[in-house]
Structure 1
């Protein structure tokens, strides 16, 4: 899941550990190597922080609650409004909801976008175009530059071409109606073959690793590290429930309203030992959701809902049969709908950080991707993260509800990383510090699979910064291979967006 957050990996966590330790991390790049690329990506993604100083954003209850919790815990300096790939306002203007976004160039959809409506639908699809996704940024720029974009292309096989370059074969699903299964055997699906001087793998942590494992027979020089260093970026899901406010001497419901605002608005950083703290560091962020989730939450309490429904039905029967002359059923209808305090005073929290990247991916006998990652090595990290979530719950006078899978020693991750990790040599990685595969020149991996360990915060910005760095390397390699041509840097990135607010 991509929830808009653009946080940089902390400088101290680009670590170099002893490779004799089976759970080591060794980053062949530094924060300094990525600073210019972080800047470039933030500019391209038009990053903006949540404008909490303006209304209606100032009234976002979940953001204010997390800020209050940080203050009460003595961690005000560790709380922040992270840069988000969301447009809240046009540059130079006061942020406003639902106003047209001014774009320097039309996007590839040719559609008018509007600023954030605070609907919480970021993770299921932003229907207003407020979320600065790849189609509105990099892909629109690529199309203007002449790139051909092909969708519904399922890559099945790839191999080195005779004489250099690579061959890619894919199934073309472009003739299938969206949302309907394809009928008939896969052998009847149209197949297309393309060739490339340089091949960039960007199918995601699972997709890129799966494709290389599946086609490993074609890549005899591929590092034996393929499939290694998997981790979930320390992800942990927790739930604040039934929070209260007793500051006035009365026990009042503390409304958090997770359905108002973008999914994530703020982050609380707990620093690790490399950053002057203890253990392995992590972040805790508020997590919003679409408004309909509130209805699902209330409807899930069937016993109470049935009881309220029966009371309304009995009241209507009494009116129809003349047992009462009171035709006002507004009280009963209001009771049926409920006060929604259960959902209004509850909120998911997203934890993420530096778990141990000691997982492995492999293919099963029937060709399915299988992951072997054990909680044992990261248990101390997760215990500390869970305790910090409990501290937030206590501070907001509520309770922490753990992810039910934790009782089965399972965790959920929306940030899978590793599988084709960077390294200094084939003995420690699949690709080098420029994303190029050891033993296979011109083959690049530029997604979460290339991570040799967790990023700590949301990994999207670091993945993009590395991809930007790798793109520079690829372009330089192209000009080195073309005698008599020099790279013109006078008009670098002319398609980038205006500076962020």
Structure 2
């Protein structure tokens, strides 16, 4: 964690995360170039989806962090861009008047093409939490591989729709282990500040934190960490703190204080919809087609690339297949989506010149969850803000950074809950299963043990100091560790290996990767600020040299 943000606390490419064949925080310092009035921008983004036979200068696959950065900067540079997004637009309220479903009341808006929810925290006090829902193109995908479930956002805005909003810049001394071929001075002097500005990153008022009922759970977590000798750090986030104060005062509709997070946040959270994508719309040069899934990218006979795209309905069925030509294509479908697509394109001969690094270097950012049962004199509060604001840093000594996370159940639980990011050395690979016609990941469940061991360097010590125990009811029957999942997929098209040092895919001029697939498996903290900053760096160079 950066001291300032943690407050003691041979080819080309651009695009990122909300993808079209696969996949848990805005904007640059530069002012927006006024290419068109807002009316024109709204017309373009609300226009009919891309048509078969269209020819576009740039196609961006995905609307998450990397893709949004690429689209904005290209549009500001005078280039027309079309973005395709596998998920929905998330701009229309449901029957309850809300766009997003509540965390404790999931419905058909909640999960991507499932008939039963698959929540990361699956049990509570001996009762299963998952419930039956209607099958729909909902906002959260729990994509299952052999040894891990990967949670990903589905919709315009990608992962920003469903993450916890913790916007963390890694400590500079750790950066060399994250992206060893990237100039750290440039990242910390220019691109991290640009990303934090663009994302609207701010830190909670410590005085309000100390008094707000909704952060009692975090204050208990702070007390326990400090009594065991661990530093507590305020963590920046992308939430409107003034709005949260009004939520606490009862003067506005509740959002974070109604537990909204897992399936979207209706009010105070500054997702990409409110930051980069809002500015994208203002350029008048970007069109977005939701419910469109890219299936094939091949070199076009006259130059550029032929892209096949399936249009989906909200039941996940293909209603049309379109052929589009793009001069340049940016892969921004998220780590999983981009990796799966590229592995398939190489293996099936669509893009055979991609190198053998495609699919390699994938990691889970060392994610592991756990809960602790506190004493009756340490209540954590009935109302808990869904936006985490603090963490416990034991990275240097134990290889773990732990978010103090909420359990927004609406009842007193006397429980502390944590998502840890750990120094896990294991890296998996995506490969193509020709018989099944799909990409597969070779992650092994046993590879989570280093993450558990790292997290235990914090929580074993706290339990010993406090005389408390681990919760065993959150992830199944008598299961302490949530070692079956990740919210932070990274890698699969690693920078300076599968691509050059700015995301240009080897073998093909005009193809780029610009999302979390570039980062080799770990960022030491929540990754979306790093994904955004790296995209800002890469697209600046691409615009200067490739257009």
Matched, 1:367 2:491: no
Unpaired runs of 5+ residues, structure 1, are 17-24, 102-112, 245-251, 295-339, 424-428, 482-501
Matched, 1:257 2:387: no
C-alpha separation in 2, matches of 1:117 and 1:378? 31
Give the structure 1 partner of residue 393 of structure 2: 269
Give the structure 2 partner of residue 44 of structure 1: 198
Aligned pairs for 1:420-499 within 5 A = 420-423=493-496, 429-478=497-546, 481=547
| SS state at 1:47 partner | coil
Matched, 1:124 2:194: no
Aligned pairs for 1:79-478 within 5 A = 79-89=232-242, 95-97=245-247, 117-128=256-267, 130-146=268-284, 147-173=286-312, 176=313, 178=314, 180=315, 182=317, 186=318, 189-216=319-346, 217-241=349-373, 243-244=374-375, 252-257=376-381, 259-272=383-396, 277=397, 281-291=399-409, 294=410, 343-364=412-433, 365-374=435-444, 379-401=449-471, 403=475, 411-423=484-496, 429-478=497-546
C-alpha separation in 2, matches of 1:122 and 1:265? 14
| SS state at 1:84 partner | coil
1:116 to partner: Cα distance:
5.8
1:121 to partner: Cα distance:
1.3
C-alpha separation in 1, matches of 2:261 and 2:292? 25
Unpaired runs of 5+ residues, structure 2, are 1-23, 25-162
C-alpha distance 473-162 of structure 1, shift in aligned 2 (>3 A): farther
C-alpha separation in 2, matches of 1:393 and 1:264? 21
C-alpha separation in 1, matches of 2:460 and 2:426? 25
C-alpha distance 430-100 of structure 1, shift in aligned 2 (>3 A): farther
1:165 to partner: Cα distance:
2.1
C-alpha distance 116-283 of structure 1, shift in aligned 2 (>3 A): same
| SS state at 2:220 partner | helix
CA-to-aligned-CA distance 1:197-230 (integer Å, 9 cap, x gap): 2211111111111111121112222110111111
| SS state at 1:169 partner | strand
CA-to-aligned-CA distance 1:317-345 (integer Å, 9 cap, x gap): xxxxxxxxxxxxxxxxxxxxxxx5xx521
C-alpha distance 165-86 of structure 1, shift in aligned 2 (>3 A): same
C-alpha distance 283-64 of structure 1, shift in aligned 2 (>3 A): same
CA contact (8 A) 2:339 2:358 kept: yes
Name the TM-score, length of structure 2 as normaliser. 0.63
C-alpha separation in 1, matches of 2:382 and 2:521? 31
1:388 to partner: Cα distance:
1.5
> What is the aligned-residue RMSD (CA, Å)?
3.0
Name the TM-score, length of structure 1 as normaliser. 0.69
C-alpha separation in 2, matches of 1:392 and 1:117? 28
CA contact (8 A) 2:296 2:350 kept: no
CA contact (8 A) 1:421 1:431 kept: yes
CA contact (8 A) 2:393 2:402 kept: yes
| SS state at 1:456 partner | coil
C-alpha distance 57-140 of structure 1, shift in aligned 2 (>3 A): farther
C-alpha distance 229-259 of structure 1, shift in aligned 2 (>3 A): farther
Total equivalences in the alignment: 377
| SS state at 2:459 partner | helix
